[in-house]
Amino acid sequence: MPFSQLGLQPELARALSDANYLRPTPIQSKAIPVILEGNDVVGTAQTGTGKTAAFLLPLLQRLASPSHKTRGLILTPTRELATQVELFLRKYGRFLKLRSTAIFGGVPQKPQVQALRKGVDVLVATPGRLLDLIQQRCIDLSAVEIFVLDEADRMLDMGFLPDIQKVVKLLPKQRQTILFSATMPQEIRDLACSLQKNSVLVEVARHPESVAVVEQKFFPVPSHLKADLLMHLLTRETMKPLLVFSRTKHGADRLHSFLGSHGVSSARIHSGLTQSQRKEAMDGFRQSRWQILIATDIAARGIDVHDISHVINFDIPNNPDDYTHRIGRTGRAEKAGTAYTFVSPEEEAFARAIEKSSRRKIERVRLEDFDYGAPSKSRGLSPRAQPRNDAVSRFLAPQKEKESSPKVFDRAAHAVQGRTGPTRNASSPSHGKKGQRDNARGRSRNSKDGKSSAKEGWLGLPSSEEQQELKRIRLKLFGTTGGNSFRERPSFKKNSRSRY
Ligand code: AMP
């Protein structure tokens, strides 16, 4: 379906043609007409599917006549995403006379307050700074007609629910509410119920087309050789621009120094940096001043750089949704891209769970010309040069520096840890009586005579036990034992008006 059939006004059609968008993506085809009609909408779409334009285009059209009162409010979980969304607002709305601004923490308030004083039609904000400025009476939300919650699942992961509730109390009851989320756990449904009336559900496949066009490979490699493998790949393949994901900010720092010491320049983006450092890293990457950006999950949320050629997961993400988000940074909007994931032996369970969730086998690559038996040249870099199963203990240890939110795998890791007692790391601080109890129970369940059961599944448990474990985890996380997909829930009708 061409854009012309979606009912968008000429100014928007012109901006889209200037942006070289030839046709709408599936989520845009589905969402734009229903939002234009004024419906409340719940959209399930992941990053890389074109979801931002799916809500911005109809929002711009519905608010097209400027009043310089805040009539559109878009909440995002991160500063980077707020900046990104506001850039798209300007891009799509360039032939309209609306004013917009983004407000977020970590930078001085003054310029934001000045922009607000001039009057804005559409405000993009992160919750904390928004509430601060409301308290200082710099923002009045009483005229809001359209309220958008972007990446709602991330918002909840990051603990923003109380802030969202405070903001919602200040909005007029009569408004249009649009909620976009990559996943649809029970908390999001509850939130949608509390915010919307008769909302229309629009969704695209759980794994968007852009993910399907990303070439994905797993590289099994011992932890201590990951940095060497990265250097090896850099010398053997052209990977520009390259986005490398690290699980922790310290890991990102170490990798940055390692690459620097080998003459490879890169930038980092993580929550330990100031906003201006993060902005400089992003701008430099966007403008190709450096070709490699090392990012943690949280900091990477708003990264939208065109034509990222490769994504490398230096550390495998510990839940499948993060994996999708990460690899969605390449191959965006139907462009081809490549995603490599380094998988150490202790991360294998995560690799298998990603395959299970995406229902596809990912090719495992072993390079002929790489020495997998070598001692590390990057001594001190890899925090993961640990014996097998230490990955599991790591998930039990307090993870102050871990940036991604613990979800299903962390629980899975607990399950593994609880039942594979003999290999437990004695230094793990979570060794309590309960752990010992679980441990003992695990031994008796898992092995009758000290040997482990022959038939094991992805959690390393006998497969029948594993099914039970999976059901328990799913029930707890998603309120259903049937899977974590929104589509699998019978109470939601596709593209139909449902009340919830
Ligand atoms: P999003 O899923 O909103 O993060 O968008 C992913 C990327 O797709 C962004 O870089 C957009 O500029 C791009 N994009 C969105 N819609 C289209 C479209 N219809 N055609 C081509 N590119 C698009």
| Burial (0-12, 13-18, 19+ Cβ within 10 Å), 422 | exposed
Distances 407 to 46, 98, 153, 157 between C-alpha atoms, Å? 17, 40, 12, 9
For the chain, give every domain's residue range. 3-206, 209-385, 391-488
- pLDDT of residue 319 exceeding 70, the answer is yes
Q: How many residues does the chain have?
A: 500
331 close to ligand 1 (CB < 6 Angstrom): no
Answer positive or negative: Cα dihedral of 71, 201, 188, 305.
negative
Residue % of the chain over a pLDDT of 90: 45
pLDDT in tens, 73-113: 999 998 888 998 999 999 999 999 999 999 999 889 999 99
- pLDDT of residue 139 exceeding 70, the answer is yes
52 close to ligand 1 (CB < 6 Angstrom): yes
- pLDDT of residue 385 exceeding 70, the answer is no
Mean pLDDT is lowest, of 12-16, 27-31, 206-210, 357-361, for 206-210
Residue 362 structure tokens: 């990912």
What homologous superfamily does CATH list for 3-206?
A: P-loop containing nucleotide triphosphate hydrolases (3.40.50.300)
Residue 212 is predicted with a pLDDT of: 52
CA 291, distance to chain mean position in Å, is 22
Residue 236 is predicted with a pLDDT of: 86
Instruction: Label residue 10 by pLDDT band (50, 70, 90).
Output: very high
Residue 60 is predicted with a pLDDT of: 97
DSSP assigned state of 3: G
Residue 42 is predicted with a pLDDT of: 94
- pLDDT of residue 324 exceeding 90, the answer is no
Instruction: Label residue 374 by pLDDT band (50, 70, 90).
Output: confident
Q: What are phi and psi of 261, to 5 degrees?
A: -70, -15
Residue 465 is predicted with a pLDDT of: 41
Domains 3-206 and 209-385 share a fold: yes
- Say what the pTM is: 0.55
Q: Which amino acid is at 312?
A: I
Task: Please state, in angstroms and rounded to a whole number, the distance separating the CA atoms of residues 164 and 245.
Answer: 29
51 close to ligand 1 (CB < 6 Angstrom): yes
pLDDT in tens, 192-251: 989 988 889 998 865 444 455 688 999 999 999 999 999 999 988 888 889 999 999 899
Over residues 55-71, mean pLDDT: 94
Over residues 118-130, mean pLDDT: 96
Residue 444 is predicted with a pLDDT of: 32
Mean pLDDT is lowest, of 59-68, 103-112, 162-171, 392-401, for 392-401
Alpha helices in 100-217 (DSSP H): 110-118, 127-135, 152-157, 161-169, 186-195, 209-212
- pLDDT of residue 141 exceeding 80, the answer is yes
329 close to ligand 1 (CB < 6 Angstrom): no
Average pLDDT over the chain, rounded to whole?
Answer: 75
CATH of span 209-385: 3.40.50.300
From 23, 52, 83, 151, the mutation candidate for ligand 1 (largest count of ligand atoms within 8 A of CB) is: 52
Q: How far is the CA of 114 from the centre of ligand 1 (A)?
A: 31
Ligand 1 atom closest to 21 (CA): 20
Q: How far is the CA of 314 from the centre of ligand 1 (A)?
A: 26
Residue 386 is predicted with a pLDDT of: 35
Q: How far is the CA of 88 from the centre of ligand 1 (A)?
A: 10
Whether 144 and 195 have beta carbons less than 8 Å apart is answered as: no
Over residues 336-362, mean pLDDT: 89
Over residues 315-341, mean pLDDT: 80
Q: For 128, how many CA atoms within 13 A lie in the half-sphere containing its CB?
A: 12
Residue 455 is predicted with a pLDDT of: 32
Residue 82 is predicted with a pLDDT of: 93
Q: How far is the CA of 228 from the centre of ligand 1 (A)?
A: 34
Residue 141 structure tokens: 């939300």
- pLDDT of residue 323 exceeding 50, the answer is yes
Between 404 and 78, the higher pLDDT residue: 78
- pLDDT of residue 418 exceeding 70, the answer is no
48 close to ligand 1 (CB < 6 Angstrom): yes
